[in-house]
């Protein structure tokens, strides 16, 4: 728990200077999130949902467990709180009148939200953000009005899908806090999860029966899917990368359109060619048997990113395949994508893989100011170098006159370099310039291939902490995976550099990450969810922050857009 006076002084230091070395890592990370969300340290202002459904599947499963726990806690001045996955209170059990009045004063009552973004560091909201048991004692709370309380919260997950269903929390006055609270709340969460499993939907039970029947046959890797629920055996867990799950979901939808058994061969992200045998499961799901065709490629597969450019998602693998093919054939290529996605990095890495001894030159459009002749002269020289790679960066920023001159310079047939152009913005290029590029390719933003963060971070750590033993903890990686990364890989690089400066050796924890890394969504977004978030963000921007107009643009209800804004952690920016 720590000394209350020491923690209180650390909080004052944090509020004044962003430094608080005396507190636990998870508390410091939560304080940073609380401040980013704009939580007031001297006030409480949480939303209230009077229309909340208080008879959900979770409430029904938890009721007998809470009844028994309430009897066990009689006379201990401890309350039992049940919330949904968003921190909205569904049930409250408290026998002590004084404690009940105190809970009412801080609105820890049914219908109110205790999400971290509304009330700051607390056992409920912080357990949601961390995805594990969270204990917050007295002065560790971000908000003054909660500092007389201590609490411990544990996530409740669906035992089949692993999806977060809610939080079970024990809250008491700080002077009644018990070191066994974390163990008790974890045990209670486990009991509720068992009851959720027993009361699972018929669709979930049907998929589990199909999976078990297939697994008993000993047929290798098995991947079963129905809606949000995925069940895999150990062989599939070893074979499949996280990015393969989305690919198999999409293939299941396509292959089962005819509601019959089908099979095909596909390439997984790690280079294995596999044969899928896919058949319908009762309740609308699918069961896939996966068999590797031949041996896995030696070393890194040809389709994998080259050394120095990490990532195994299908989207990134496709980019690397196309860039490699263009480099081998010397076919000129135009890369489009947001700032910082890795356009230049993948070209440089492919050049080093295939033509390491040849010249690699980058010409930045922003440098084309004043002395155009010198810029064009250097370019003309490099275009004639054998096996050279020339990158024309940010072509969309070229002045119109320079773009026309550049198009003329690229005309001669004697040019020997491989040329790659990059474009960041929406501006169109002159047809005379576009005509030189045989192919155009969009490089996806990092948020659309978020699983690649797991591969990129170790590469960046080796780059910025050479010859030092430094790794990223699971908790810090979980935070990184839930960030929207508007600045893409370039922003991730800055965050890793800051973390290395804060923690020169050992394990990087959430508290070592700068504030910008703590802007997170509720869970790690799938590529489709990331695309959905982008569409909602654009609609909100175009509507001046008006959620009703944005919902109309997207053809969805206001209730849906409110739910999505909350789930994706979107900021609303109103036009002045």
Chunked mean pLDDT (size 10), the chain, 576 residues: 77 79 85 86 88 89 92 89 95 93 95 94 94 93 94 89 87 87 90 80 73 75 81 80 73 63 70 81 79 59 57 85 88 90 92 88 83 86 89 88 86 78 79 84 87 89 84 89 88 92 90 78 59 76 81 78 74 49
Architecture of domain 202-292: 2-Layer Sandwich (3.30)
pTM beyond 0.75: the answer is no
Instruction: State the span(s) of the chain assigned CATH 1.10.8.60.
Output: 446-518
pLDDT attached to residue 554: 78
Instruction: State the span(s) of the chain assigned CATH 3.30.450.20.
Output: 202-292
Instruction: State the span(s) of the chain assigned CATH 3.40.50.300.
Output: 314-442
Instruction: State the span(s) of the chain assigned CATH 1.10.10.
Output: 527-568
Q: Which among 127, 119, 180 is positioned nearest to 156, based on CA atoms?
A: 127
Which superfamily is assigned to 314-442 in CATH? P-loop containing nucleotide triphosphate hydrolases (3.40.50.300)
pLDDT attached to residue 299: 41
pLDDT attached to residue 231: 81
pLDDT attached to residue 85: 92
Q: Which among 167, 186, 8, 184 is positioned nearest to 91, based on CA atoms?
A: 167
pLDDT attached to residue 301: 41
Q: How far apart are CA 252 and CA 140, in angstroms?
A: 47
Architecture of domain 4-198: 2-Layer Sandwich (3.30)
Q: Which among 406, 401, 282 is positioned nearest to 332, based on CA atoms?
A: 406
Q: How far apart are CA 556 and CA 574, in angstroms?
A: 20
pLDDT attached to residue 335: 93
pLDDT attached to residue 126: 95
The answer to whether 162 and 245 are in contact (CB under 8 A) is no
pLDDT attached to residue 235: 81
Architecture of domain 527-568: Orthogonal Bundle (1.10)
Task: Specify whether domain 446-518 bears CATH 1.10.8.60.
Answer: yes
Q: DSSP alpha helices (H): ranges in 149-304?
A: 181-198, 202-216, 234-239, 242-255
pLDDT attached to residue 302: 42
Q: Which among 561, 560, 535, 537 is positioned nearest to 547, based on CA atoms?
A: 561
pLDDT attached to residue 518: 72
Q: Which residues contact 66 (CB under 8 A, 6 or more apart)?
A: 80, 82, 91, 93
Instruction: State the span(s) of the chain assigned CATH 3.30.450.40.
Output: 4-198
pLDDT attached to residue 99: 94
Q: How far apart are CA 20 and CA 141, in angstroms?
A: 14
The answer to whether 473 and 513 are in contact (CB under 8 A) is no
Residue 93's H or E segment, with its range, is: strand 89-93
pLDDT attached to residue 88: 95
By three-state DSSP, how is residue 156 classified? strand
- Name the E strands within 434-556: 439-442, 470-472, 506-508
pLDDT attached to residue 57: 87
């Amino acid at each position: 728990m720590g000394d209350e006076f020491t923690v209180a002084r650390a909080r004052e230091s944090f509020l004044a200077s962003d430094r608080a070395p005396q507190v636990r890592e998870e508390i410091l990370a939560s304080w940073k999130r609380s401040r980013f969300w704009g939580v007031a340290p001297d006030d409480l202002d949480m939303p209230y949902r009077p229309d909340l459904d208080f008879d959900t599947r979770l409430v029904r499963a938890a009721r007998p467990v809470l009844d028994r726990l309430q009897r066990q806690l009689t006379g201990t001045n401890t309350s039992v709180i049940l919330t949904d996955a968003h921190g909205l209170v569904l049930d409250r059990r408290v026998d002590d009148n004084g404690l009940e009045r105190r809970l009412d004063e801080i609105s820890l009552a049914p219908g109110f939200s205790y999400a971290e973004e509304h009330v700051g560091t607390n056992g409920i909201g912080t357990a949601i953000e961390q995805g594990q048991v969270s204990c917050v004692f007295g002065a560790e709370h971000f908000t003054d009005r909660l500092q007389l309380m201590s609490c411990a919260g544990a996530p409740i997950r669906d035992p089949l899908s692993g999806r977060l269903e809610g939080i079970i929390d024990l809250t008491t006055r700080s002077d009644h806090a018990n070191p066994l609270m974390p163990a008790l709340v974890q045990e209670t969460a486990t009991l509720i999860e068992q009851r959720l499993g027993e009361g699972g939907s018929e669709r979930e039970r049907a998929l589990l029966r199909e999976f078990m029947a297939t697994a008993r046959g000993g047929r290798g890797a098995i991947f079963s899917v129905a809606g949000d629920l995925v069940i895999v055996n150990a062989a599939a867990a070893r074979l499949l990368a996280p990015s393969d799950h989305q690919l198999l979901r999409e293939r299941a939808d396509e292959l089962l359109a005819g509601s019959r058994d089908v099979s095909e061969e596909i390439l997984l992200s790690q280079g294995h060619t596999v044969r899928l045998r896919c058949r319908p499961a009762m309740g609308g799901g699918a069961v896939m048997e996966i068999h590797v065709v031949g041996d896995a490629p030696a070393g890194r597969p040809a389709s994998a990113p080259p050394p120095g450019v990490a990532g195994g998602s299908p989207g990134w693998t496709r980019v690397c395949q196309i860039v490699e093919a263009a480099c081998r054939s010397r076919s000129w290529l135009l890369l489009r994508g947001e700032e910082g996605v890795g356009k230049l990095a993948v070209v440089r890495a492919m050049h080093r893989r295939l033509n390491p001894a040849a010249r690699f030159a980058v010409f930045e459009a922003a440098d084309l100011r004043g002395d155009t002749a010198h810029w064009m002269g250097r370019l003309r020289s490099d275009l004639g170098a054998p096996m050279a790679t020339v990158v024309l960066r940010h072509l969309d920023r070229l002045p119109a006159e320079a773009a026309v001159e550049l198009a003329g310079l690229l005309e001669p047939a004697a040019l020997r370099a491989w040329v790659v152009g990059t474009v960041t913005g929406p501006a169109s290029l002159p047809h005379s310039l576009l005509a030189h590029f045989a192919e155009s390719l969009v490089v996806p933003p990092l948020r659309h291939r978020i699983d690649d963060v797991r591969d990129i971070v170790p590469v960046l750590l080796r780059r910025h902490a050479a010859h030092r033993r430094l790794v990223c903890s699971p908790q810090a990686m979980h935070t990184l995976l839930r960030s929207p990364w508007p600045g893409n890989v370039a922003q991730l690089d800055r965050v890793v550099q800051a973390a290395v400066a804060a923690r020169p050796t050992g394990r990087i924890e959430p508290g070592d990450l700068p504030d910008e890394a703590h802007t997170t969504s509720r869970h790690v977004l799938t590529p489709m969810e990331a695309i959905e978030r982008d569409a909602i963000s654009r609609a909100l921007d175009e509507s001046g922050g008006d959620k009703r107009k944005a919902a109309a643009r997207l053809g969805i209800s206001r209730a849906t857009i409110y739910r999505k804004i909350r789930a994706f952690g979107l900021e609303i920016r109103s036009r002045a």
